[in-house]
Structure 1
Amino acid sequence: MAINSIKFYLLLGINLLMLGTLSLNAWISYHDALHELDEIYDAELARSAKLISLLLSSNPLPQTNTEPLVIAVPHITEMGEALSAQQERLLDGHKYEGKIAFQAQQGDKLIMLSENALQFPTPKREAGYHEITEHGTLWVTFSYFVPEHNLWVFTAQREDIREELGAHIAQAQVRPILFMMLPLSLLIYLVIKLVLRPLNQLQQQVANKTPEQLHEIQLALPSELQPIQGAINSLLQRIRRYLQQEKRFVADASHELRTPLSILQLHAQNLSSAKDPVEIAEAINAITEGSKRMSHLVDQLLSIARLDHLRQINCAIVALTPLLHQSLSQLPIKLLDKVNWQLELDNSCEVYGDSTLLQSVLRNVLDNAAKYSVTDGVVQVTTQQNAEITTIRISNGGAVEPDISRLGDRFYRHQQHQNSDGAGLGLSIVKHIVALHHGQLSFKRNSAGGLDVTLTLPAAAPGENHR
């Protein structure tokens, strides 16, 4: 099973980094120590050779000696490994003496040597350091020549001394790593757990949220987590606002649907008991009008539901004047005849958007302009294009002053227009479609007592210079 945990990866990463760093440091220290050890032993070989040559030069051996002088080497068992350094010093010598040897030759004659050098092969008469093998054992040698006495001194040391000491050094480097890893890992785990505790607190706060408890989270978090808390609070605020809008929408929709249903039910009852043809005709007409109003309301509710889930639209360059004429042609005849239409259109104007959605915008705005205008009033439509922006202004004259701040809210209608056709959803649909096109919708009272509706839409695709 895949592990997906910040705590796990932090613990693993820090431990691996720590182990790698300590191991690299131990490896470097080990090789540095071996290098220094080699230099010390090499210096000891050179010093011993020079000391022996000085002694032999100052006090030469009698010429009558036909056999070389053999210096005994103490035979000490390896039991010294279990002894402390202080106990080893009490012995009559040291176990490493058997691993150090020397020879001295005057001319072609061997005059002095250590006991463990009796079986040595003939050393090289070449000043400096060399390596020889005796019975499968590697020795490092140093050759020193004294010309005035024709004296060669050879000192040697077994290589396994250096290897043994190198192993001790390596153990000394590895042992702290092995003993430190477990407590350090535990300490790192506790530190990570402490550092990530604010993240756990934030997770618990978010997990405990319910639709009824969407208040903001207020925790004293580190600076790295404060943007996350801010983003979560912003999201909670949007969700709370969205839920409030949906609750209001459901309540308003229920109210708007209940009224025409009650009217239909009443007229249906009247129709079932009516005997007079005139009453029957009135009931049928009322039922027909109520059905139309209810059908219109359901269509608008479905349109809003579709727009709420619409995130992308198919945009193209659309000529504005034909679009306006098509929208006007879709208005009811009684609205077209109710007012005088003044069209001041720039035929070169174009908009960038979805022609079907834009037609719905224009149809709703023109419908409202005529519906809420005084009879025989004037509805003026003007268009103009400036750079990449196209502006459409629709003005009418009226006697009712609406609450401009609420225009575009769902189901909002002025008190004096409660009996008018419609459900107060048209401008809400317009507002949503304009937002999808990255345009702007504004309202302003005019001098004729009516309303100026201004639509600002892009004339070209973003990043393109149209024309």
Structure 2
Amino acid sequence: MTTNSIKFYLMLGINLLMLGALSLNAYIAYNDALHELDEIYDAELARSAKLISILLSDSHMMSANEQPVVVAVPHITDMGESLSAQQERLLDGHKYEGKIAFQAHHGDKLIMLSENAQQFPTVKRESGYHEITEHGTLWVTFSYFVPEQNLWVFTAQREDIREEMGAHIAQAQVRPILFMMLPLSLLIYLVIKLVLRPVNLLQQQVANKTPEQLHEIQLKLPAELQPVQSAINSLLQRIRSYLAQEKRFIADASHELRTPLSILQLHAQNLSSAKDATEVAEAVNAITEGSKRMSHLVDQLLSIARLDHLQQLNCTLIPLTPLLHESLSQLPLKLLDKVQWQLQLDDSCQLYGDSALLQSVLRNVLDNAAKYSVVDGIVLVTSHSKADITTICISNNGIVKPDASRLGDRFYRHPRHQSTEGAGLGLSIVNYIVKLHHGSINFTANNQHGLDVAILLPATLQLSTPTS
């Protein structure tokens, strides 16, 4: 099991929580038991003192003897924990007798004491519980006074007997924890492994995916993993769509490249078999035009490839009017002269984005507007800003009503425009660049069989990195 895993952290966390809870419970139980033991032992001291006082008050020992009566304490070797409680009771007394002592005083006269209390220091004559030290041993004492007989009774118990009982109680609390930890940890591991089994199943399903098998994952998962499965399925769907788009792009690109190559090959053969200057000139002209068309297509394919791998935009605030004029100046003269340009621009409009890419957008849209317009038609360019969004509208008068729903698809060209120069990639590039700038572009067919293009782009600092 690796340390950087959910299973490891669950095992570690649950075991630590379990150990902490059991330890806290044992600590509380231990202290409660010690408290109860102290109360029992204290009560025993008080009861013994009162019992001794009653026995002495009914006897003549307080005045008859000059010497105090010494009660012998059996000297029993402590044999540890090797004997059972029943076996210890069969001995001559009990090993704990040496840990209990008493003294009885009639006035200032010591009249009775246990053997192990002979060396006791002077006991404080104050009713209640006290602590004294005898030869480095701590004793808990209880002082009891009977005023009618002027009798003081002192009972005492060694503190170490209480500590010994506390140690036994602590062991009794800790022992179950030690014995329970291993089986409980094993059970916790099995439960975690069972609970995380859906995660392993999901991991296996994802790991087994290949580019040819990107179907959705359908597993009965817990509620917490269902959003993950939905996100993965959504990602797989986008990947399928992307792969299908790329396959279509490759197929279309192959087709578009094959056509000019075939034409070039055909005209090259014509050139090799040409018999007069006219045929040579026609073949050379055809080869030149085909080369230009293929060069244009390759440039656009490279532009798309660069956009697909673009990591960051070089964004600045750009005045729109100079950018439009500069884009117009890059159009071929034959397109500039083909139509009438009407510019109704708001000079206060500005864009926030990459200057080179936005210039490519405007150049492509203006190129298409002129290319697919009627001769001497009108291309209207307007601009305005609202709510930090700049809108650029470009309209033309066309020959054939365009299919606005398919504009922007790679390699799409209207059947009536197949002979027009181009490869059908310009608007696809435009669409991609606009999305990189978090903008939008709309295509609408107008009543003059032309097209209205509305480009909406941010006019303030709104983006720093592209999104795909």
Q: TM-score range by the shorter chain?
A: over 0.9
**Displacement, 1:87?**
4.3
SS state at 2:310 partner: coil
CA contact (8 A) 1:369 1:379 kept: yes
SS state at 1:63 partner: helix
Give the structure 1 partner of residue 93 of structure 2.
93
CA contact (8 A) 2:402 2:450 kept: no
Cα RMSD between the aligned structures?
A: 2.0
Give the structure 2 partner of residue 440 of structure 1.
440
Residues 29-65 of structure 1, C-alpha deviations (whole Å, 9 max, x = no match): 2122222212221221122112212222233426232
CA contact (8 A) 2:335 2:371 kept: yes
**Displacement, 1:266?**
1.7
Give the structure 2 partner of residue 197 of structure 1.
197
CA contact (8 A) 1:339 1:376 kept: yes
SS state at 1:59 partner: coil
Give the structure 1 partner of residue 158 of structure 2.
158
Aligned pairs for 1:31-70 (under 5 A) are 31-61=31-61, 63-70=63-70
Aligned pairs for 1:115-130 (under 5 A) are 115-130=115-130
Give the structure 1 partner of residue 146 of structure 2.
146
Residues 111-165 of structure 1, C-alpha deviations (whole Å, 9 max, x = no match): 1112332333333333333333334433222222223322211111122211221
SS state at 2:192 partner: helix
CA contact (8 A) 2:369 2:394 kept: yes
Give the share of equivalent positions with the same residue, in percent. Answer: 80
Q: For the residues of structure 2 that align with 1:363 and 1:203, how far apart are their CA atoms?
A: 48
**Displacement, 1:89?**
4.2
Q: For the residues of structure 1 that align with 2:98 and 2:320, how far apart are their CA atoms?
A: 109
Judged with a 3 Å threshold, the aligned counterparts in structure 2 of structure 1 residues 86 and 325 are, in CA distance, closer, same or farther, namely same
Aligned pairs for 1:322-401 (under 5 A) are 322-401=322-401
Instruction: Choose 152-161 or 208-217, whichever is displaced more.
Output: 152-161
Residue identity in the other structure for 2:320 = L
CA contact (8 A) 1:80 1:95 kept: no
Matched, 1:84 2:81: no
TM-score by length of 2: 0.94
Aligned pairs for 1:148-187 (under 5 A) are 148-187=148-187
**Displacement, 1:290?**
1.0
SS state at 1:341 partner: strand
**Displacement, 1:441?**
0.8
CA contact (8 A) 1:300 1:425 kept: yes
Give the structure 1 partner of residue 460 of structure 2.
460
Give the structure 2 partner of residue 231 of structure 1.
231
Q: For the residues of structure 2 that align with 1:289 and 1:437, how far apart are their CA atoms?
A: 35
Instruction: Choose 96-105 or 171-180, whichever is displaced more.
Output: 96-105
Residue identity in the other structure for 2:206 = V
SS state at 1:461 partner: coil
TM-score by length of 1: 0.94
Judged with a 3 Å threshold, the aligned counterparts in structure 2 of structure 1 residues 411 and 64 are, in CA distance, closer, same or farther, namely same
Judged with a 3 Å threshold, the aligned counterparts in structure 2 of structure 1 residues 319 and 136 are, in CA distance, closer, same or farther, namely closer
- Alignment gaps of 5+ in structure 1: none
Q: For the residues of structure 1 that align with 2:45 and 2:77, how far apart are their CA atoms?
A: 24
SS state at 1:413 partner: coil
Residues 70-111 of structure 1, C-alpha deviations (whole Å, 9 max, x = no match): 223344444584443344445553332222111111122211
Q: For the residues of structure 2 that align with 1:400 and 1:330, how far apart are their CA atoms?
A: 26
SS state at 2:133 partner: strand
Q: For the residues of structure 1 that align with 2:136 and 2:107, how far apart are their CA atoms?
A: 29
- Alignment gaps of 5+ in structure 2: 464-468
Instruction: Choose 384-393 or 428-437, whichever is displaced more.
Output: 384-393
SS state at 1:142 partner: strand
Judged with a 3 Å threshold, the aligned counterparts in structure 2 of structure 1 residues 109 and 233 are, in CA distance, closer, same or farther, namely same
Q: For the residues of structure 1 that align with 2:331 and 2:107, how far apart are their CA atoms?
A: 131
**Displacement, 1:272?**
2.2
Q: For the residues of structure 2 that align with 1:308 and 1:153, how far apart are their CA atoms?
A: 101
Q: For the residues of structure 1 that align with 2:277 and 2:67, how far apart are their CA atoms?
A: 159
Residue identity in the other structure for 2:398 = G
Judged with a 3 Å threshold, the aligned counterparts in structure 2 of structure 1 residues 330 and 149 are, in CA distance, closer, same or farther, namely same
Q: For the residues of structure 2 that align with 1:326 and 1:135, how far apart are their CA atoms?
A: 108
**Displacement, 1:393?**
1.5
CA contact (8 A) 1:311 1:436 kept: no
CA contact (8 A) 1:80 1:88 kept: no
Q: For the residues of structure 2 that align with 1:355 and 1:89, how far apart are their CA atoms?
A: 102
Instruction: Choose 424-433 or 3-12, whichever is displaced more.
Output: 3-12
Matched, 1:416 2:416: yes
**Displacement, 1:5?**
1.6
Judged with a 3 Å threshold, the aligned counterparts in structure 2 of structure 1 residues 300 and 161 are, in CA distance, closer, same or farther, namely same
